[in-house]
A and B are shown apart, each in its own frame.
Chain A
Amino acid sequence: MHLNGARIGLEIHVQLNTKRKLFCFCSTKATKPNTQVCEVCLGMPGAKPMLNNRALMFAIGLALALKSGINELSRFDRKTYFYPDLPKNYQITQYHYPLSRGGYIELNNKKIRITRIQLEEDPGAITYTQHIDVSKYSLIDYNRSGIPLCEVVTEPDFSSAKEVKQFLKKFVSIIKHLKIYSSAMSLRVDTNVSIGKNPRVEIKNIGSIKDVVSAIDHEIFRQTQLIQKKEKIKQETRRFTGSSTQLMREKETEEDYGYIIDPDLPPIIPGRWLQDIFKSMPELPDQRVQRMMKQYNINKHQALAIVSEKELADFFEAVAKKVNPKLVASWTAGQLLKVLNYNNFFFSETKLKPPQFVSFLELVQEDEISDRAGDLLLRELVLNPQNPKQLARKLNFLKMTDKELLKLTKAVLKKHRQAIEQYKKGKQKPLMFLIGQVISESKGRADAKKVKKEIIKNL
């Protein structure tokens, strides 16, 4: 399969972690359906929007972090389409004059350009009682209506799903460092995929990074097969079902939303806030990599790997206070990430806590456990976090104490008198045999050098 010439672009919709909604005073956190709603976010007659400046500041922070050019003046627009989850039947978004244009995120070996960043309101959420195609009715929860969304649109600069994954991980790391997003909020992605000069196909509303990666892989595969079969690729909109992409609608012409400037909302003139927001910018992932390299004397590769997730970087720094940072870095960027990748986990999905990792690393440092056993033990710990020493004991991973080793050696020597005789005659092979026997009986817990010493001593 040749993937040459795949072009992929993203539209990321990230819910901002404000206390209140974008245009009213309702809370963004609600448990029961339709409890955080008011005239404004229900689109009642006569209600008007009032911008939550906090959300604007969050979006400005993101624009600054992505080096996007903030427009001196931007405006809100009305995007009109009829849908039951959209109370006013128009969405307040930005179209003519977005908050910012340009910017980029730097990956290991390339820059992904940002087209624009804009602020908009989330519609309500529809749930179906059964599968969408057969459900007799749908339920609408307007708690989500009016939650601030920041939309980030990229240029079609990606050539593989792998790059998209790298980008999205870094993007999430940035918005978490900015503290404008938490894992409890939603992040939805639309992506468009084209190969060579063929029309582009849009996949809408994908709910997680993993699904984005998987959807793109599936879509590239589907389009490549069509090309190989010399079939035509149509411009269309598809959705991701979890195992493939599925046609939603063919798209002969662009949908016409009849955008007009929203006359209820005055222009945004962010100038007066820029300096303050710029000054109070927290440390961002790229800066953190530089600092950690210096502070902990670790290499760039390790630092990059660790900062790829904010939770992992926080975890590392917590552990590095207690244990030699170089050892922490080597295990974190090494085996820990390997186990996570193998299981297709993000670190944030595990429940491994710093104290557990500290005591794990202490086992390694004190030489109570072999490197090989350490690998195995960590794998268990990531999947099922618990007290490392107890787990190691349970799994019989701890190295033998000298007393245990003496006892085992004596028992082995007793069984193999013939080998001892031969060794005493000056042959080396029997010694190797005896060492092997002890290690095998210890189930890998005995250290070869120590065993050799112990055998010679006891002959």
Chain B
Amino acid sequence: MSYLITNVRAGKGIPLVVKDNICTKGIQTTAGSKILQGFIPTYDATAVKQAKKAGCTIIGKAMMDEFGFGTFSTNCAYGVPKNPHDSLRSCGGSSGGVAGYVADSKKRVLGLGQSTGGSISCPSSFCGVVGLTPTYGVVSRYGLIDYASSMDRIGPITQTVKDAAWLLTKITKDSYPSIDDLDSTYHRTKDRDYTQFCGKSIKGITIGVPKEYMNKASKPVRVEIEKAIVKLEKLGAKVLPISLKYTDVALPAYYILALSEASTNLAKFCGMRYGLQGNIHGKFNDYFSKIRSTGFGEEAKRRILLGTFARMAGFKDEFYIKAAKVRTLVIYDFQQAFKKVDVIVAPTMPIIAPKFSEIVKMRPIDVYNIDTLTVPVSLAGLPHMSIPAGKVGKLPVGLHLISNFLQEGKIIQVGDAFERS
């Protein structure tokens, strides 16, 4: 099955599949959009550079929702990846190509995904692989084509928790004093080795289960998650019910902030210096409009319009500014919870991978609502990881592990113990 936009002849090393919004030197990088057709970056994203340094070799650039705009990888200008467990169903999104490829491969292969509102967790859950989204900032975003700069994160999508821990260790490495690592929001982690958290017991670890999250899950998913929680208890974890009361308002806040940022991030694509080009004549505004009208897909246009609206004078206070305040409350909500628990567990997605025939019937708002469990952690910038936990029929269910800032170690420890049991 096809998961890739661009196949790359692999060299020696550990095969690595990279989401197509992460720049790779000399290899076409489209972010899944027609407007970037033919764009060949002159540089490697810092995360790619570090992975290569650690012995990885790129084997392909994977399909994705255009600029990350989607939950099912159906908004891709270069084909739609199909779920390796059922080809009538979606891989999830927006890192669907990476998760599908990693799940489908019989051999060991690593993936680099990217998340803004859950785009690593969602496809990992639907495809039954491990998707680790680290704390905002610990992996340099230099070379990542922006969706919403204050939430975008690069992270591993792998077959095992140990692989995820290994790849995270490599890509968080400080590339200093390299002068091309220009991400001002990069947070140096002193070259921590995340694999040290594998192979440990989880006795005494406190796990919180938010009732709001459980209530949103469909029944078959909830049953699998409840089984997983029992298993964690058996492994020695202490389980506590908790409440995250800002869960519902996180979703609109996320979309307002993410789309406001996206509408400025996508302004640069106008057919002038790279990507899709046309005959330049007439007024520049007409030319820009022509290129943007033909180059962007429907969902990209919708999100640019929504985001532009939310930041215009007269609406900004009601939307953009208010959403920023809600974001603070969401962070506060989690901080209160982490006073009581080490790790929060929940269903990654409220459903199993849906059929394409179901997806076409969904309205945009229905699709946005499916992100409801991954959006709060995305707004807050907290580390989270989806791991396979049971199946509904032949389709995987993802267990979501969430920890406090820079506590990736804890979710790796819990995830690895669960995987081994």
Q: Real complex partners, A and B? A: yes
Q: Which residues of A contact B (CB under 8 A)?
A: 23-25, 39-40, 42-51, 78, 80, 82-84, 87-90, 254, 256, 258-260, 262-266
The verdict on B42 contacting chain A, using a C-beta distance below 8 Å, is: yes
- Please indicate the chain B residues that have their CB under 8 angstroms from the CB of A45 in the complex: 23, 29, 31, 36, 39, 41, 145, 268-269, 274-275
A260 in contact with B45 given A43-B268, A50-B182, A82-B267 (CB within 8 Å): no
Q: Do the beta carbons of A44 and B142 come within 8 Å of each other? A: no
Q: Do the beta carbons of A260 and B260 come within 8 Å of each other? A: yes
- Which of B22, B39, B150 makes the CB contact (< 8 A) with A263? B150
Q: A43-B268, A44-B273, A260-B264 are in contact. List 11 more A-B contacts (CB 8 A).
A: A23-B182, A45-B23, A45-B269, A46-B142, A48-B149, A50-B183, A82-B267, A82-B285, A84-B284, A89-B267, A264-B183
- Please indicate the chain A residues that have their CB under 8 angstroms from the CB of B273 in the complex: 42-44, 87
Q: Do the beta carbons of B267 and A264 come within 8 Å of each other? A: no
Query: Scoring B residues 270 to 297 as 1 if CB is less than 8 Å from chain A, else 0, what string do you get?
Result: 1011110000000011001000000000
The verdict on B313 contacting chain A, using a C-beta distance below 8 Å, is: yes
Q: Do the beta carbons of A258 and B308 come within 8 Å of each other? A: yes
- Please indicate the chain A residues that have their CB under 8 angstroms from the CB of B263 in the complex: 80, 258
- The residue on A at minimum CB distance from B183 is A48
* B318-353 with Cβ < 8 A to chain A: 320
- Please indicate the chain A residues that have their CB under 8 angstroms from the CB of B148 in the complex: 263
Q: Do the beta carbons of B268 and A87 come within 8 Å of each other? A: yes
| Cα distance, A42 to B272, chains bound together (Å) | 11
- Please indicate the chain B residues that have their CB under 8 angstroms from the CB of A265 in the complex: 184
Query: Scoring B residues 162 to 182 as 1 if CB is less than 8 Å from chain A, else 0, what string do you get?
Result: 000000000000000001001
Q: Do the beta carbons of A48 and B141 come within 8 Å of each other? A: yes
Q: How many positions in chain B have a CB within 8 Å of any CB in the partner chain?
A: 45
The verdict on B185 contacting chain A, using a C-beta distance below 8 Å, is: yes
Q: How far is the CB of B138 from chain A (nearest CB, A)?
A: 15
| Cα distance, A42 to B39, chains bound together (Å) | 14
- Please indicate the chain A residues that have their CB under 8 angstroms from the CB of B36 in the complex: 45
Q: Do the beta carbons of A264 and B185 come within 8 Å of each other? A: yes
- The residue on B at minimum CB distance from A142 is B273
- Please indicate the chain B residues that have their CB under 8 angstroms from the CB of A47 in the complex: 142-143, 182
The verdict on B261 contacting chain A, using a C-beta distance below 8 Å, is: yes
| Cα distance, A263 to B260, chains bound together (Å) | 11
A260 in contact with B311 given A45-B36, A45-B145, A84-B284 (CB within 8 Å): yes
* B248-263 with Cβ < 8 A to chain A: 260-261, 263
Q: How far is the CB of B298 from chain A (nearest CB, A)?
A: 21
- The residue on A at minimum CB distance from B33 is A45
- The residue on A at minimum CB distance from B22 is A46
- Which of A49, A82, A89, A260 makes the CB contact (< 8 A) with B320? A260
19 pairs from A and B in contact (CB 8 Å cutoff):
A39-B42, A40-B182, A44-B41, A44-B274, A45-B23, A45-B36, A45-B268, A45-B269, A46-B41, A48-B141, A48-B183, A80-B263, A84-B272, A90-B264, A254-B313, A258-B264, A258-B316, A263-B150, A263-B261
The verdict on B144 contacting chain A, using a C-beta distance below 8 Å, is: yes
- The residue on B at minimum CB distance from A266 is B184
- Please indicate the chain B residues that have their CB under 8 angstroms from the CB of A87 in the complex: 268, 273
- Please indicate the chain A residues that have their CB under 8 angstroms from the CB of B183 in the complex: 48, 50, 264
Q: Do the beta carbons of B311 and A88 come within 8 Å of each other? A: no
- Which of B31, B270, B316 makes the CB contact (< 8 A) with A89? B270
- Please indicate the chain B residues that have their CB under 8 angstroms from the CB of A262 in the complex: 149
A46 in contact with B23 given A258-B308, A260-B311 (CB within 8 Å): yes
- Please indicate the chain A residues that have their CB under 8 angstroms from the CB of B184 in the complex: 48-51, 264-266
Q: How far is the CB of B24 from chain A (nearest CB, A)?
A: 10
Chain A to chain B: the 8 pairs with minimum beta-carbon distance, closest first = A263-B150, A89-B267, A263-B149, A50-B182, A258-B311, A46-B143, A46-B23, A45-B145
- The residue on B at minimum CB distance from A138 is B284
Main secondary structure of the interface of B (DSSP, over half): loop
- The residue on A at minimum CB distance from B280 is A137
| Cα distance, A23 to B312, chains bound together (Å) | 26
- The residue on A at minimum CB distance from B31 is A45
A259 in contact with B311 given A49-B182, A83-B284 (CB within 8 Å): yes
| Cα distance, A49 to B275, chains bound together (Å) | 21
| Cα distance, A42 to B263, chains bound together (Å) | 19
- The residue on B at minimum CB distance from A258 is B311
Q: Do the beta carbons of B149 and A88 come within 8 Å of each other? A: no
Q: Do the beta carbons of B313 and A80 come within 8 Å of each other? A: no
A256 in contact with B142 given A48-B184, A88-B267, A266-B185 (CB within 8 Å): no
Most chain-B CB neighbours within 10 Å: which of A23, A42, A259, A263? A263
The verdict on B368 contacting chain A, using a C-beta distance below 8 Å, is: no
Q: Do the beta carbons of B43 and A39 come within 8 Å of each other? A: yes
- Please indicate the chain B residues that have their CB under 8 angstroms from the CB of A89 in the complex: 267-268, 270
| Cα distance, A262 to B288, chains bound together (Å) | 23
- Please indicate the chain B residues that have their CB under 8 angstroms from the CB of A78 in the complex: 264
Q: How far is the CB of A80 from chain B (nearest CB, A)?
A: 5
* B30-50 with Cβ < 8 A to chain A: 31, 36, 39, 41-43, 45
- The residue on A at minimum CB distance from B24 is A46
- The residue on A at minimum CB distance from B35 is A45
| Cα distance, A87 to B269, chains bound together (Å) | 9
Q: How far is the CB of A125 from chain B (nearest CB, A)?
A: 15
Q: Do the beta carbons of B270 and A82 come within 8 Å of each other? A: yes
- Please indicate the chain A residues that have their CB under 8 angstroms from the CB of B288 in the complex: 82
Q: Do the beta carbons of A260 and B261 come within 8 Å of each other? A: yes
Q: How far is the CB of A141 from chain B (nearest CB, A)?
A: 13
- Please indicate the chain B residues that have their CB under 8 angstroms from the CB of A88 in the complex: 267-268
- Please indicate the chain A residues that have their CB under 8 angstroms from the CB of B316 in the complex: 258-259
| Cα distance, A24 to B141, chains bound together (Å) | 15
Q: How far is the CB of B306 from chain A (nearest CB, A)?
A: 12
| Cα distance, A262 to B267, chains bound together (Å) | 14
A264 in contact with B268 given A83-B284, A258-B311, A259-B311 (CB within 8 Å): no
| Cα distance, A42 to B273, chains bound together (Å) | 8
A258 in contact with B144 given A45-B31, A45-B39, A90-B264 (CB within 8 Å): no
